[in-house]
């Protein structure tokens, strides 16, 4: 999709009803809701990337979305929408073929094409390669009625836009409770061992299906959903030798039933088919179904190789000694810091707190008298988990934001107290 770049031609800041920082699934859902609303607002999207992209690396082959196709960018808000997933399939000539399949959840690669198809219909409203670097209150009025957004172009130039309302990406959740990646310091490179990141694996997955002797033994080190999906893909490859999963993700503990060890499985994990309790459940999609598929793949490896090769899951142990017997070691990708984390530092002292308004939306309350009604801010995140799912209520919450814009436009008098609404 070609990128668009617009820069202001006058010194007077442009005034918009809404400016969205970023152009991901949540923002596209907002663009769709706004276009389908009877009185569309004047909306602009600022995206620092040169074109739309959802997930920065390739998807694990054959993986699917967590939820049904119904939970797209529009259907739950407007079943007749021209931007629904079924409308996309119809436009691509694949509606009947999809309907005849036995799965309601789309392939992720195809769902990303759907997102790109939707994004391509809003290019005139998107400024690509434009990064919002700061957000401040416009202090010409008391209480404030506008926001000033400083934007940096790809050439390093800056300019200011004004808007009554803002949508920005929600900050990342705290990682203090996430499983840690085991350390990896004693790998024997001289013996021919090789380390690949998950991104490297995705680009070279076909190499693992080549028949060779001796067979490759593969170790996967990680605790994320992405690492588990790589395990699901690797264990199905019948030309590989032993497969070892080294993790601190307790939701994989049922797979230890396949280990050739004397220790009995934990009593609380009484069934390989049981979904872990909510507080212990990992972020992987369709936990029970994927667990069954991995277990079946590991069991079949043992049977077809007459016990020579197996799947082994190691939880909470040092990675070095366990990975030493593997030819290929696949490790998790590291994620960079959230680029928008410093946008609102100057506003921290003005915020009272947030009020949750669903899975993908929360409202931020400011101190009394700071901002006027009809001048809001939404922090939105599709909760896409690295391209694996979307929040089920993303379309509905986007519609609520658009309706809020319309209500504010119909009765804006500048005297009401403003709240900053937030997160998708």
Q: Is residue 407, in this structure, part of any structural domain at all?
A: yes
pLDDT tens digit sequence for 215-247: 889 988 888 878 888 898 899 888 999 999 988
Do residue 305 and residue 204 come from a single domain? yes
Q: Return the H-helix or E-strand segment holding 43.
A: strand 43-47
- Find the domain containing 378 and state its range: 15-172+338-421
Identify the pLDDT of residue 190.
Answer: 46
Q: Is residue 9, in this structure, part of any structural domain at all?
A: no
Do residue 63 and residue 126 come from a single domain? yes
Identify the pLDDT of residue 13.
Answer: 59
CA distances from 238 to 193, 243, 423 (A): 21, 11, 44
Do residue 391 and residue 257 come from a single domain? no
Cα 96 from chain centroid (whole Å): 29
Do residue 402 and residue 293 come from a single domain? no
Q: Is residue 177, in this structure, part of any structural domain at all?
A: no
Do residue 141 and residue 208 come from a single domain? no
Do residue 322 and residue 345 come from a single domain? no
What is this structure's pTM?
0.70
Do residue 122 and residue 197 come from a single domain? no
Q: Return the H-helix or E-strand segment holding 202.
A: helix 198-203
Q: Is residue 285, in this structure, part of any structural domain at all?
A: yes
The answer to whether 152 and 4 have CB atoms below 8 angstroms apart is: no
Identify the pLDDT of residue 66.
Answer: 80
Q: Is residue 343, in this structure, part of any structural domain at all?
A: yes
* CATH number, domain containing residue 35: 3.50.50.60
Do residue 65 and residue 146 come from a single domain? yes
Identify the pLDDT of residue 75.
Answer: 96
Last residue of a domain, one of 300, 331, 362: 331
Q: Is residue 226, in this structure, part of any structural domain at all?
A: yes
Identify the pLDDT of residue 415.
Answer: 39
Q: Identify the segments of the chain with pLDDT beneath 50.
A: 1-6, 8-10, 174-190, 262-287, 335-340, 411-424
Do residue 287 and residue 404 come from a single domain? no
Identify the pLDDT of residue 16.
Answer: 95
Last residue of a domain, one of 281, 305, 331: 331
Per-residue DSSP letters for 115-140? HHHHHGGGGGGEEETEEEEEEEE-TT
Last residue of a domain, one of 270, 305, 331: 331
Q: What angle do CA 361, 363, 369 make, to 5 degrees?
A: 165
* CATH number, domain containing residue 302: 3.50.50
């Amino acid at each position: 999709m070609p990128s668009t770049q617009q820069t202001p031609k006058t010194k007077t800041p442009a005034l918009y009803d809404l400016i969205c920082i970023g152009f991901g699934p949540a923002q596209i859902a907002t663009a769709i809701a706004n276009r389908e609303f009877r009185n569309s607002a004047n909306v602009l999207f600022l995206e620092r990337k040169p074109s739309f992209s959802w997930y920065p690396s390739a998807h694990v082959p054959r993986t699917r979305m967590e939820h049904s196709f119904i939970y797209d960018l529009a259907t739950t808000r407007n079943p007749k929408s021209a931007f629904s997933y079924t409308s996309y399939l119809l436009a691509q000539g694949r509606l009947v073929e999809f309907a005849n399949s036995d799965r309601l959840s789309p392939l992720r690669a195809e769902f990303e094409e759907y997102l790109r198809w939707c994004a391509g219909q809003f290019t005139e409203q998107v400024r690509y390669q434009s990064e919002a670097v700061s957000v401040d209150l416009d202090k010409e009025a008391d209480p404030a009625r506008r926001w000033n957004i400083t934007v940096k172009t790809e050439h390093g130039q800056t300019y200011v836009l004004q808007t009554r309302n803002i949508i920005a990406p929600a900050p990342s959740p705290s990682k203090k409770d996430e499983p840690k990646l085991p350390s990896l310091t004693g790998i024997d490179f001289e013996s021919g061992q090789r380390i690949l990141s998950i991104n490297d694996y995705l680009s070279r997955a076909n190499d693992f299906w080549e028949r060779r002797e001796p067979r490759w033994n593969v170790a996967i080190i990680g605790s994320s959903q992405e690492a588990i999906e790589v395990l699901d893909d690797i264990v199905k490859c019948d030309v590989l030798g032993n497969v070892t999963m080294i993790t601190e993700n307790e939701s994989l503990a049922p797979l230890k039933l396949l280990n050739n060890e004397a220790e009995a499985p934990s009593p609380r994990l009484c069934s390989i088919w049981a979904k872990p309790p909510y507080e212990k459940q990992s972020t992987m999609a369709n936990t029970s179904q994927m667990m069954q598929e991995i277990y079946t793949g590991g069991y079949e490896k043992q049977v077809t190789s007459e016990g020579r090769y197996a799947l082994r899951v190691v939880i909470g142990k040092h990675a070095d000694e366990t990975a030493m017997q593997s030819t290929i070691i696949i490790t998790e990708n590291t994620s960079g810091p959230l680029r928008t984390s410093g946008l609102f530092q100057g506003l921290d002292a003005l915020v009272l707190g947030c009020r949750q308004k669903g899975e993908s939306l929360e409202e931020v309350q400011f101190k009394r008298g700071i901002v006027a009604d009809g001048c809001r801010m939404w922090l939105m995140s599709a909760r896409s988990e690295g391209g694996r799912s979307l929040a089920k209520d993303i379309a509905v919450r986007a519609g609520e934001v658009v309706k809020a814009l319309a209500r504010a436009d119909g009765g804006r008098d500048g005297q009401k107290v403003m709240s900053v609404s937030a997160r998708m």
